[in-house]
Structure 1
Amino acid sequence: MKKPLVSIITPTYNASKFINETVQSVWNQTYQNFEHIIVDDCSRDNTWDILEGLEKENSRIKLLRMDKNSGAALARNKAIQLSKGKYIAFLDSDDLWEPRKLELQVQFMQNHNIAFSFTNYKMIDESGQDLYREVKCPKVINYRDLLKNTTIGCLTVMLDKDKIGKITMPNLQPEDTALWLRILKKGHSAYCLQETLASYRLVSNSVSSNKWKVAKRMWKVYRTSEKLNIFSSFCYFFNYAWNAVRKHYL
């Protein structure tokens, strides 16, 4: 039986320092039936030149370039629209996958008839050194669980388009969490393959490194996207903040 196609979605912006290593971690996958759609959001460095070179080396890379700098959500949506795979997987331009990530995750989803899966992941520093910090996730997360947590790493997510239907990231940061909430609110649950199959790179001056900015954006998701009242928002935010501290510092 032919293995289902996986569409890997990678937005890039000024990613010349890391993009080679990220793409190589895709090429190293034991599961080879994939297309890698990379959308450059008008990088100002030589990211595009690097990508053109990589495209010549591997026909499974599909390059796109935004007309103007529009942010990761719109870049990902552009790639999703052009994707042909049964499964959608996300990998940002500075993160890495373990070689068996796709193989094990596709198998996990097929064996358990899952629409939404994710995995554990570890953290590395800007130079790629292991920080010996792992995010170990619960076996299953529903909508209310995710309102209180930050445990689903975008770099680990795989979605079944046939089961979920149309996939569009809201243009509201954090756009990945806003999408997961939208999917789970429909009644789906997210299931964790409890193996560490990806590496999240902590980059200085990134949005995720500014915890205050991240917290404000999560508050906006509660109030604007999920339309929660003040009391519910405070309750969920307290749990979210505590779980974020546990994830990063404890």
Structure 2
Amino acid sequence: MNNMPLVSVYVPTYNRIELLKRALTSVLSQSYQNIEVIIVDDKSSDGTQEFLTEMAKQDNRVKPILKEQNSGACISRNLAIESAEGEFITGLDDDDYFLPGRIAYFVENRHLLNKYSFLYTHFLTLTKSGQYKKTRYLDMAMPNEITSRDLLFKNIIGNQCFTYTQRMKDAGKFTPDMPAWQDMDLFYRMLNNSEQKQARLLRQSLYVQDTSHDLNRITLSNKEKIHRAFTLFCERNQVSGKYQDILEAQLVSYGLKVRNSLFLTRLRTNTKPYFYLVDAFLFLKNQSNK
């Protein structure tokens, strides 16, 4: 095991101890064992800090960071990234979990990081009915490679990736004052700022997003936050003109009405067949929005 690279897994958490226990178990039971699990608690009041302190005694791969004040998930993630000692890094939300071979799958494909900025996978959703379902329509049509400009059409990455730890640090980590789209903002910067200008999709689904519970997800945002995130994203990443129009059409997914002309801009600019299908869906949804 010591001949294999150390992989850091960061997990932000706040007042979801039972879900956190499942998430942590899913990491510690991975088939690939040379890992460190950095769990940053955002000053929970449900016994999380005591649980993490005890787990660290039982397994030295568990490395808790216990915050003295509540400051949000992005700051929690950044604290974990800053302290990560692994050559590679990936993340997990505390209400989600890994399937057993996820980290091994990434490590087996780490050679691809010579060409790609980061790797990502398909994922599954656990529904209230207890069923697993694919979260992306037309999975087989998704491109194997994407660029930062492709993210303007749709954030098809999801919320986690696998990369060299230093690359994530060099990209500036997560931006705490982004009210939404924090993941996409980081991915966009990683793709623009590294020598490798593309990311690579690995097609196994080894990450489960749990939507079956009634607790708020870390990434949940309202329409006002989405509008603010769109504005900040464009300002900070210097997205303007037709590329701003392309991104603005994504707001339809959050129940916001946009100008139909935005879809014509996307049609003229698109170079990947998958996004024509995305545009058709967004356009129809836009017609139904009030």
The TM-score, its normalising length taken from structure 1, stands at 0.86
Query: Are 1:152 and 2:157 counterparts?
Result: yes
Relative to structure 1, the CA distance from residue 221 to residue 120 in structure 2 (aligned partners, 3 Å threshold; closer, same or farther) is farther
Structure with bigger gyration radius: 2
CA distance in 2, matches of 1:182, 1:143: 8
Q: Is the 8 A contact 1:35 1:60 kept in 2?
A: yes
Query: Are 1:206 and 2:211 counterparts?
Result: no
CA distance in 1, matches of 2:17, 2:63: 17
Query: Are 1:170 and 2:175 counterparts?
Result: yes
Look up the equivalent residue of 1:180 and give its one-letter code. Answer: F
Alignment-derived partner of residue 55 in structure 1 = 56
Query: Are 1:194 and 2:175 counterparts?
Result: no
Relative to structure 1, the CA distance from residue 154 to residue 46 in structure 2 (aligned partners, 3 Å threshold; closer, same or farther) is same
Relative to structure 1, the CA distance from residue 142 to residue 212 in structure 2 (aligned partners, 3 Å threshold; closer, same or farther) is same
Look up the equivalent residue of 1:22 and give its one-letter code. Answer: A
CA distance in 2, matches of 1:229, 1:90: 30
Alignment-derived partner of residue 18 in structure 2 = 17
Identity of aligned residues (%): 26
Can you list the C-alpha shifts for 1:119-176, whole angstroms capped at 9, x where unaligned?
A: 100111368x234233345311110001221211224x11113556624212223222
CA distance in 1, matches of 2:44, 2:149: 37
Alignment-derived partner of residue 268 in structure 2 = none
TM-aligned CA deviation for residue 230 of structure 1: 6.3
Aligned residues: 246
TM-aligned CA deviation for residue 213 of structure 1: 5.0
Give SS of 1:223's match. Answer: helix
Can you list the C-alpha shifts for 1:35-93, whole angstroms capped at 9, x where unaligned?
A: 00111111122221222232222110001112321111111111111111110111111
- Unmatched 5+ stretches in structure 2: 254-277, 286-290
Query: Are 1:179 and 2:186 counterparts?
Result: yes
Mean alpha-carbon deviation: is it higher for 213-222 or for 89-98? 213-222
Q: Is the 8 A contact 1:149 1:244 kept in 2?
A: no
Cα RMSD over matched residues? 2.8
Look up the equivalent residue of 1:220 and give its one-letter code. Answer: T
TM-aligned CA deviation for residue 226 of structure 1: 1.9
Alignment-derived partner of residue 39 in structure 1 = 40
Can you list the C-alpha shifts for 1:76-113, whole angstroms capped at 9, x where unaligned?
A: 11111111111011111111111110111111122563
Q: Is the 8 A contact 2:120 2:202 kept in 1?
A: yes
